[in-house]
Each structure stands twice: as structure tokens, then as C-alpha cells.
Structure 1
Amino acid sequence: MDAITALHQRVSSPRLTAPAPSTEQLDVLFRAAGRAADHGNLRPWRFVVIEGEGLLRLGDIFVKAATAKNPAITQSEIERCIAMPKRAPMIILAIAKCQPNPKVPTIEQIIAAGAATQNLLNAAFALGIGAVWRTGDMAYDPVVRQALGVENGEELIGFIYIGTATAPPHQPREQNPGDFFSIWPQE
């Protein structure tokens, strides 16, 4: 698939199954991520691959976080936490690795990490790999952050659920660029 088609047609694939991307495909995705716009060449991102036993452990971490927040958690909420990481055969943590820099503020570093993550998603779509970027409470929970090794100065910007889509991609909604682009100054 050519780059413009991938950029114009990319959609999320929330229903995923095995197989997960191969080692070779992951290399393509991470190389694409590395080409994101990056003021100062800081590479303020890192990615962590979780699959197999790691997905089960992630479910346990989600239960621990939910229980810490609500000691009266119900069994159905516990089961939901356990099941969350099992929605895909692989999850890639997208982490903004912010560094003190006099010329590159933290917000620019977080945006660069987001751009790297979007490049990864675009590359996955171009390769026919299903993926969806999820956040939610668990991405910001201190118990989850600590258990996953997210350090001070870092932000967990998302869980990229990735695998084989169970259905063909849906048609993207039509967009009118005039709705979000303008020219300044207007005459």
C-alpha cells in the first residue's frame, strides 16, 4: 500500500486475534516510529512489547490498580480487568521519555512520542496489521505505571493493541479539510 493511501484510509481495528506481528514486521513498525518529527533529535519515546505470559501479568496489574482505587471492587470488575489485555495477542506500550532540555519543552517531547506512535499505527495499517491505540484510567494509574517501569519524567501515552483484525477495515468517515484547516490572516 502506498503511503498516501495508508494515510487517507487508516482506521483503528478494535477486534483483534492472533497472530501478532512477526519480529520482522515489528522492526518495520519501530523503524517507522523512529522517523517521527523530533525537535532536538532527542528520540523522546520508547516502546515496550507485551505478549504471552506478559498479557496475563498485565491483567493482574490492572486488578491490583483497580482494587487499590476501590477496595469494594466487584468480581465482574475484576474479571473485566483480567480480560482487558487479552483483547489482542500483543500490546505495545507507547511511552514518552521526557528529558530536561532548555530548547525542547516537555510538551514537544510528548507530542513527538505521539507522532512516533502514530507512525507505528500508520505502518501497521500499511502492512495489513490490525491495531488500536487505547488509553483510559489504567494508562494514568500510578500502580500500573510503577509495575510497568514507567519512570519519573515519562508518560504512558497509550496501549497499542495489535494483531490480526477479525474483520476487514471499515471505510473511514469522509472528512472535509475545510472543517479543520484555515488560512491566516484572513482577508
Structure 2
Amino acid sequence: MDALTLLTTRRSSKKLTAPAPNAEQIEAMLQAATQVPDHGNMRPFRFTVIESEAGLQHFRSLLCQTVSEMNFGDEAMQKAEKVGNMSPLVIGVTFSPNREVPKPKPEWEQMLTAGCAAYALQLAANAQGFDNVWISGMWVNSPLLRQAFDCADKDKIIGLMMIGSPTETTGGSKNTDLSAFVSRW
């Protein structure tokens, strides 16, 4: 798939199944994620790969414990169970601001880099034939996930990349009406 087709046809998919990417494919995805624009080579991102059955079970448990401890209720528990079983591979992307360099860049700039890394991870999965969806919401603020992902005070989980094989075909290009988003001088 050429790059322009990949960029214009990428869609989120919540209907994922096995097989998940293998070790070599995950390595390629992570390599792609680290090649994003990164002013000052700060590398303000980390990845938590959850791929084994034991890892996925622990992840599911943390989601359900989050709902219980935060008293989110029955509807949130159903959502936790759905998210926990959504895909055969989860890659957590954490923004981890780097202040240990002589000339650190502003945190907002570093967060953009981490966001680009998450998007590159998605595109690299798509380029290898896998679908995915970027999950955030209540989960990224879970104290339990933050602890499991070894987050420092300033770190922020910016997304849970749910990755797997598609169970149905997603649509093509959205053909966005650009007039609301573009001005020309």
C-alpha cells in the first residue's frame, strides 16, 4: 500500500480478532513510532506492549479494578469488559516528558511528538494489514494503569492502541470537505 492511500483510508476499527501482529511486525511498528518528528531528539514516549494471555488478563483485571475503585458503576464495568476483550494486542503509549537534556523543549511540543508516535504506530499496523483503534477516556487516567505502566508524576498515558486482524471491511476515503479546515493566502 502506498503512503498516500494509507493516510487517506486509515479508519479506527473496534472489531478486532486474532491473529495479532507477530514479534517482527510489532518491532517494525515500534521502530516506525520512534521515527516521528522530535525536536531536540527528546524521545518523550514509552510503549507498553501487552501481548501474552497472562498480560492481557492482567490488563483486563486492571480495567475492572479501576471501575470498582473509582465507583464508576455497572455501565462502566460493561465497558471495561468490552475494552479488555477488544483486541489480541494492546500497546499503551505514554507521554514521558524529558527534562534531562541541556536544552529541554516545552512539554506541549514533546506531547505532540508522543502523539505522532502513537499515530505512526497505528499507520505501521495498518500498513501490515492490521486494524486498530486508539482508546483513551477514563482508562488513561487510571491510577492502576499508571502504576502498571510505571508512570512518573508528569507522565501521561495518551492512548491504548488496540490492534488485531479486522473482522469486517472498513470504508475507504472519507473525502473530507476541506473548506472548513483550510484557508489559503
TM-score normalised to structure 2 length? 0.90
- Aligned residue runs from structure 1 range 1-187, under 5 A: 1-51=1-51, 52-70=53-71, 73-74=73-74, 77-100=76-99, 102-183=103-184, 186=185
Give 3-state SS (helix, strand or coil) of 1:41's partner: coil
Measured against aligned partners, the alpha-carbon deviations of 1:54-113 in whole angstroms (never above 9, x if no partner) come to 111111111221112118x44x65454234221100100011111226441111111100
Which residue identity is paired with 2:150?
A: G
Q: Over aligned residue pairs, what C-alpha RMSD do you find?
A: 1.8
Unaligned ranges ≥5, structure 2: none
For 1:147 and 1:34, the matched residues in 2 are separated by: 22
Cα deviation for residue 11 of structure 1 reads: 1.1
Cα deviation for residue 129 of structure 1 reads: 0.8
Cα deviation for residue 18 of structure 1 reads: 0.2
For 1:68 and 1:19, the matched residues in 2 are separated by: 33
Cα deviation for residue 144 of structure 1 reads: 2.4
For 1:80 and 1:131, the matched residues in 2 are separated by: 17
The runs of at least 4 consecutive aligned structure 1 residues that moved more than 3 Å come to 76-80
Contact kept? 1:56, 1:82, Cα under 8 Å: no
For 1:77 and 1:137, the matched residues in 2 are separated by: 9
Which residue identity is paired with 1:53?
A: A
Larger radius of gyration: 1
Which residue identity is paired with 1:162?
A: I
Which residue identity is paired with 2:80?
A: C
Give 3-state SS (helix, strand or coil) of 2:40's partner: helix
For 1:46 and 1:173, the matched residues in 2 are separated by: 31
For 2:155 and 2:118, the matched residues in 1 are separated by: 15
Unaligned ranges ≥5, structure 1: none
Give 3-state SS (helix, strand or coil) of 2:85's partner: helix
